[in-house]
Structures are given as C-alpha cells and as structure tokens.
Amino acid sequence: MVASLKINGALHTASVPDETLLVDWLRDDLGLTGTHIGCDTSQCGACNVLVNGASAKACTLLVATLDGAEITTIEGLGTADALHPMQKAFRTHHALQCGFCTPGMVIAGVAIAQTHGADVSVDTIRHELEGNLCRCTGYQNIVAAIAAGAKDMAGSEGARIAGSAQ
C-alpha cells in the first residue's frame, strides 16, 4: 500500500507492507526515533504523536490507513536551540527523570493545552494524562509542567500545532 502523509510539515510517501505500524515507519524508515516504543500494547503513551491535531498511539495505527493525515512527532515541536513552550515547561519543572516517557508526555501535554486552553485545571490534566505512564519521576511535576506549558503556549506565537484539534 502506498500512502502520503505529512510528517512535521513535510510530505512523505510511504510504500510499505500493509501491516506496517506508524511507530515503526517513523523510527526505522524516517529515523524519527524521538517517538518511543514502551509497552507496545497501547497503554503507556511513549509513542504518542498528533494525528490531525489529536493525540494517538503510533504503536496502534497502520500507516496504510493514514493516507492524507498530518502527523506531528516530538521532532516537529521544537529544536534543541528553540524549544517548544511545552518542552521548556518540562525542563523548568523538572518533569522528567530517565526521559523515556517524555516525548509522549510532551505530545499529550500539547494536545491537552490545545483542547482545554491556557487555564486547564489540574483535575482535567490528570484525567487527560491517563494514557501516559511514567515509571520513575511520578506525575506531580509532569502535571505542573503541563499546566505551565498550557499558559505559555497561549502567549507564544507559533506554538499551536496545525490540524483539526478537537
């Protein structure tokens, strides 16, 4: 199956076996290894990406079903020199320890900010983070970082990710 997808703004044509998972194509064919494989059973959220603005687990999506979709991975948010506001907030609030879950957490944070706005409540953040697991830091600082990142995104031009966010 051949599918055309926009990845972080650039058009790519995937010519892959029909059973190819999005996460494997991103990592193995495009070299975008920021999207992690954690549990590989649709639970941990380390593979979260934005699909047309909505967060989704790349380990549970077939590339062949995503023809025409716009995907944003962690590499599409910011660079080492110019971090996205949500990435900055994770650094400021020490919201990571080993860092393995962090790309998925940051993507989830961006989706939360885009769906619920700058003043998203802590309760909402906790409900909306149920698809992400962290095995070392715990969630306190992650929740604090997302609350701060949501505020910073509202005041930052270009922080919003294109796509039909819900």
Partner 1 sequence: MTPFSLKRPTSLSEASSAFAGDAAWLAGGHTLIPAMKSRLRSVETLVDLSAIPDLDSISRDDDRLVVGAMARHAAVAASPLVKAAIPGLAGLASLIGDPQVRNRGTIGGSIANNDPAADYPAALLALDAIVATTHGTHAAEDFFQGMFTTALDEGELITSVSFRVPRASTYAKHRHPASRYALAGVYVARFEDGVRVAVTGATTAAARWPAAEAVLNAAFAPASVGMLSFESENLATDIHAGADFRAHLAGVMLREAVTSLL
What is the binding site for partner 1 (CB under 8 A)? Answer: 1, 17-19, 21, 40-42, 45, 48, 51, 54-57, 59-62, 64-65, 67, 108, 111, 128, 130-132, 166
Q: Closer to partner 1 by CB, 96 or 111: give it.
A: 111
Q: Closer to partner 1 by CB, 83 or 116: give it.
A: 116
**Which helix (DSSP H) or strand (DSSP E) does residue 12 occupy?**
strand 10-15
Q: How far is the CB of 99 from partner 1 (least distance, A)?
A: 20
Q: How far is the CB of 97 from partner 1 (least distance, A)?
A: 21
Sheet holding 48-51, edge to edge: 10-15, 2-7, 70-72, 48-51, 54-57
Q: Closer to partner 1 by CB, 68 or 155: give it.
A: 68
As a residue count, the chain comes to 166
Q: Closer to partner 1 by CB, 138 or 158: give it.
A: 138
Cα 104 from chain centroid (whole Å): 5
Q: CB within 8 A of 81, min separation 6: which ones? A: none
Closest CA to 103 of 28, 47, 143: 47
Q: How far is the CB of 51 from partner 1 (least distance, A)?
A: 7
Q: How far is the CB of 138 from partner 1 (least distance, A)?
A: 16
